[in-house]
Amino acid sequence: MSRYLVTGGSGRLGRSVVAVLAGAGHEVISVDREPRAAGTERSIACDLSDANATAELFAEVRPDAVVHLAGIAIPFGRPDPELYAINTGLAFSVLEASLTSGVSSLLFASSPTVIGYGAPDGWQPAYLPIDEQHPLAPWNAYALAKQAVEGLVAMVVRAHGDRLRIGAFRPCYVITPEEWAGAPTQQGHTVIERLDRPELSAVALFNYVDARDVGEFVLAWIDRAHEIPNGATFFVGASDSLAREPITDLFPRYRPELVEAAGALAVHAPIFSSERAERLLGWRASRTWRTELAREDVS
């Protein structure tokens, strides 16, 4: 049994990541400013912006691996300077504590927003589906901070080599188990509303992923961190798009900037490719909106 520490473990995504890791038989420590009541994992309160407190926590816990999810979770959740400072500061705090305490592997959460879709002055993809080689073009502090975290990952590999196995992943629009059951999603709409009104899902390029699938990705990454290229970044998304209609039929109406690059994109294909995760980690999302919604809601 290994010991894993998950920052932001009380959050929407963190709860599922913690549950998957604990369900696989590992000792899990969930760290948050306001931890929830513990299940099979330990829940610890810590302000990770306090570098000394973070270092003390890591020295006490001595985790084998760390999954960093903590931070402002959405664009414009705080004023841009504050959001950028918080999210990059937390990443540095966790990195330094990991290096000092001898953590074996560290996985950072990034975001598909680094690609730059939705920019006020316009944006077009270089190609579809979008993979990890696609150019980045962040246009807000949230996305810029995620790009900085990915840069931090690359810096660590150059500076420390294999002393620390490190990586980043870009989870698509996360949907939790309770949201499949009808609870509001992060933007306040239900999943059914996002399907019935394609303009709601078009904002995020119709991407999504089940939080439990993300947990299974994290487990796969930790298991194989020493076998894959150090510093790799991964898209993590469902195997289809969050849309009832063929995805390419929706582009002219809701995302005309995608039409030219659509090419031979499959009828219900995701716009973000998770092929690298499947090839290097053997991970593929097993849940879609068709499998998770009540049958009477699926058409």
pLDDT on residue 34? 82
Rounded mean pLDDT of 263-278? 94
Output the CA–CA distances (angstroms, integers) from residue 223 to 28, 195, 212, in the order listed: 15, 35, 17
The predicted-structure confidence for 211-227, as pLDDT tens digits, reads as follows 999 999 999 999 999 99
Domain span at residue 218 reads 3-297
Round to whole Å and give the CA distance between 83 and 297: 38
The predicted-structure confidence for 123-157, as pLDDT tens digits, reads as follows 999 999 999 999 999 999 999 999 999 999 999 99
Q: Which of 20, 60, 7, 41 is nearest to 213 (CA)?
A: 20
Peptide bond connecting 129 to the previous residue in cis, omega within 30 degrees of 0: yes
Indicate the pTM of the whole model. Answer: 0.96
Specify the DSSP element, H or E, that contains 253: helix 247-254
Q: Which residue has the tokens 């807000």?
A: 140
Other CB atoms within 10 Å distance of the CB of residue 170: 24
- Please tell me whether residue 221 adopts helix, strand or coil conformation: helix
Q: Which of 94, 75, 91 is nearest to 83 (CA)?
A: 75
The predicted-structure confidence for 5-64, as pLDDT tens digits, reads as follows 999 999 999 999 999 999 999 999 999 988 776 666 789 999 999 999 999 999 999 999
User: The domain spanning residue 36 has which CATH number?
Assistant: 3.40.50.720
The predicted-structure confidence for 52-108, as pLDDT tens digits, reads as follows 999 999 999 999 999 999 999 999 999 999 999 999 999 999 999 999 999 999 999
Provide the number of structural domains found in the chain: 1
